Amino acid sequence: MTAVLLLVVYALAVAVLAPPLLARHWPSDRAPRLTVTLLQILTCSFLLATVGAGLALAFTLVEGLSELSPALDSCADQLPVTDHGSLGTALGHLGWISAVLLSARLLYCLTATFGTAHRRRREHSQMLRMLAKRDDDLGVLVLDHPSPACYCLPDDVVITTGALERLSAKQLEAVLLHERAHMSGRHHLIIALATAIRRTMPHIKLLAYAERETRRLVELIADDAAVARTGAPTVAAALAVIGTAHAEDAPPEYNPVPETALAIDSSPTLRRIRRLLRLDQTLTRRTHALVIAATTAATVLPVALLAVSGATLFRPCPPDLDSGWSPAVVMSVAADGS
Ligand SMILES: [Zn+2]
């Protein structure tokens, strides 16, 4: 039962504390890549801990499962709620049913999210083959549309004639670098994973927060890739040109960017421009070390917790003074097979 408590406390702590702590105290805008990694660790470990807690409950309180290990069975028999009582058995069955349902739901959401995104991208690519023209010099598909927009599919960058007319050569280079950073970083897969995990348990704030932040942060990662080659003022100017073209309230007919594409203006543009023009966007050495240490701790903690929970589940119990049971007796009984 210690394993169940450890896993439940971890899952609750991560789900409740992580979003406000990260929002208030974590320098996500200055370390977007590390933050995306951290969010993936937190969300995956939350799901693992939740499924693990259900399985641990089942192994402790379902009679057939607890008897797989003599030590586990004897420990379970010392609990106030045991696998011999109706309440204990009900809790045990609730544990494995929850674990199986959650795993099945996760599998379904992964399949549905990745499958739908893949199908929509394929349909959009087929449409582009008819509507867009390839520009071999730029290595992009050009769509005849008055709104200045640029977005990428996994294998292609698409830009509108409106964007080509408005962007200077340097700004165009920045825009294309941004989109190619999305492609090389496989950001569409990172977003699809965050979306599938959020859909698995849509009411958990941590998962919604992680998806929202992942969508925003991959834009910052792509901005930084463009800044490294063209400089922050150029990227900010390109964002101003592209981003003002179709604000969030623009009617859909003015927006040529499909829902599944990663567009250069798909996150609040003004905040990104402000970030690019701030002089203090790089982390100090001390903050960088702290961010890496915290991310490492967030990786090690759930792995250690799962290992400790597993070890706790099957460890020999202390002697039960009321019944006269001791680990030596259990070992002897197990060896005799009686
Ligand atoms: Zn983008």
Q: Given this model, what pLDDT does residue 73 score?
A: 58
Q: Please check whether residue 36 lies inside any domain of the structure.
A: no
Q: How far is the CA of 338 from the centre of ligand 1 (A)?
A: 66
Return the number of other C-beta atoms located less than 10 Å from residue 76's C-beta.
26
Do 113 and 224 reside in the same domain of the chain?
Answer: no
Do 257 and 191 reside in the same domain of the chain?
Answer: yes
Tally of domains in the chain: 2
Q: How far is the CA of 217 from the centre of ligand 1 (A)?
A: 10
Structural domain range at position 107? 1-29+44-131+284-338
Q: Please check whether residue 159 lies inside any domain of the structure.
A: yes
Q: How far is the CA of 3 from the centre of ligand 1 (A)?
A: 43
Classify strands 150-153 and 156-160 as parallel, antiparallel or unpaired.
antiparallel
Last residue of a domain, one of 236, 259, 282: 282
Do 144 and 242 reside in the same domain of the chain?
Answer: yes
| 41-45, 63-67, 97-101: the lowest-pLDDT one | 63-67
Q: How far is the CA of 180 from the centre of ligand 1 (A)?
A: 9
Q: How far is the CA of 284 from the centre of ligand 1 (A)?
A: 26
Closest to 175 measured CA to CA, from 235, 246, 259, 219: 235
- 3-state per-residue secondary structure call for the chain: CHHHHHHHHHHHHHHHHHHHHHHHHCCCCCCHHHHHHHHHHHHHHHHHHHHHHHHHHHHHHCHHHHCCCHHHHHHHHHCCCCCCCHHHHHHHHHHHHHHHHHHHHHHHHHHHHHHHHHHHHHHHHHHHHHHCEEECCCCEEEECCCCCCEEEECCEEEEEHHHHHHCCHHHHHHHHHHHHHHHHCCHHHHHHHHHHHHHHCCCCHHHHHHHHHHHHHHHHHHHHHHHHHHCHHHHHHHHHHHHCCCCCCCCHHHCCCCCCCEECCCCCHHHHHHHHHCCCCCCCHHHHHHHHHHHHHHHHHHHHHHHHHHHHHCCCCCCECCCCECHHHHHHHHHHCC
Q: How far is the CA of 11 from the centre of ligand 1 (A)?
A: 32
Do 126 and 162 reside in the same domain of the chain?
Answer: no
Q: Please check whether residue 189 lies inside any domain of the structure.
A: yes
Do 82 and 181 reside in the same domain of the chain?
Answer: no
Q: How far is the CA of 182 from the centre of ligand 1 (A)?
A: 7
Q: How far is the CA of 229 from the centre of ligand 1 (A)?
A: 16
Q: How far is the CA of 263 from the centre of ligand 1 (A)?
A: 5
| 129-133, 140-144, 196-200, 263-267: the lowest-pLDDT one | 263-267
pLDDT tens string 236-276: 999 988 875 443 334 444 455 666 666 654 447 888 888 88
Cβ atoms of 160 and 124 within 8 Å: the answer is no
pLDDT tens string 103-138: 999 999 999 999 999 999 999 988 888 899 999 999
Do 154 and 260 reside in the same domain of the chain?
Answer: yes
Q: Given this model, what pLDDT does residue 261 score?
A: 61
Q: What is the pTM of this model?
A: 0.79
Q: Please check whether residue 64 lies inside any domain of the structure.
A: yes
Q: How far is the CA of 312 from the centre of ligand 1 (A)?
A: 46
Q: Where does the pLDDT of residue 215 fall: very low under 50, low under 70, confident under 90, or very high at 90 and above?
A: very high
Last residue of a domain, one of 234, 258, 282: 282
Q: Given this model, what pLDDT does residue 213 score?
A: 96
Q: Which whole number is the average pLDDT over 143-153?
A: 91
Do 84 and 198 reside in the same domain of the chain?
Answer: no
Q: d(Cα 143, Cα 162) in Å, to the nearest integer?
A: 9
For residue 338, pLDDT over 80 is answered with: no
Q: How far is the CA of 190 from the centre of ligand 1 (A)?
A: 13
Q: Please check whether residue 37 lies inside any domain of the structure.
A: no
For residue 316, pLDDT over 70 is answered with: no
Q: How far is the CA of 136 from the centre of ligand 1 (A)?
A: 22
Do 166 and 261 reside in the same domain of the chain?
Answer: yes
User: Between these two residues, 286 and 45, which has the higher pLDDT value?
Assistant: 45
Do 248 and 291 reside in the same domain of the chain?
Answer: no
User: Between these two residues, 52 and 260, which has the higher pLDDT value?
Assistant: 52
Q: How far is the CA of 192 from the centre of ligand 1 (A)?
A: 15
pLDDT tens string 216-230: 999 999 999 999 999
Say which amino acid occupies 99.
A
Q: How far is the CA of 176 from the centre of ligand 1 (A)?
A: 10
Q: Which whole number is the average pLDDT over 75-103?
A: 76
Q: Given this model, what pLDDT does residue 331 score?
A: 43
Do 103 and 202 reside in the same domain of the chain?
Answer: no
Cβ atoms of 143 and 128 within 8 Å: the answer is yes
Q: How far is the CA of 110 from the centre of ligand 1 (A)?
A: 23
Q: Please check whether residue 173 lies inside any domain of the structure.
A: yes
Which residues surround the ion ligand 1 when the cut-off is CB under 5 Å? 219, 222, 262, 264
Q: Please check whether residue 38 lies inside any domain of the structure.
A: no
Do 256 and 158 reside in the same domain of the chain?
Answer: yes
Do 313 and 245 reside in the same domain of the chain?
Answer: no
Q: d(Cα 210, Cα 205) in Å, to the nearest integer?
A: 8
Q: Please check whether residue 75 lies inside any domain of the structure.
A: yes
For residue 97, pLDDT over 60 is answered with: yes
Average pLDDT of the chain is 82
Q: How far is the CA of 261 from the centre of ligand 1 (A)?
A: 9
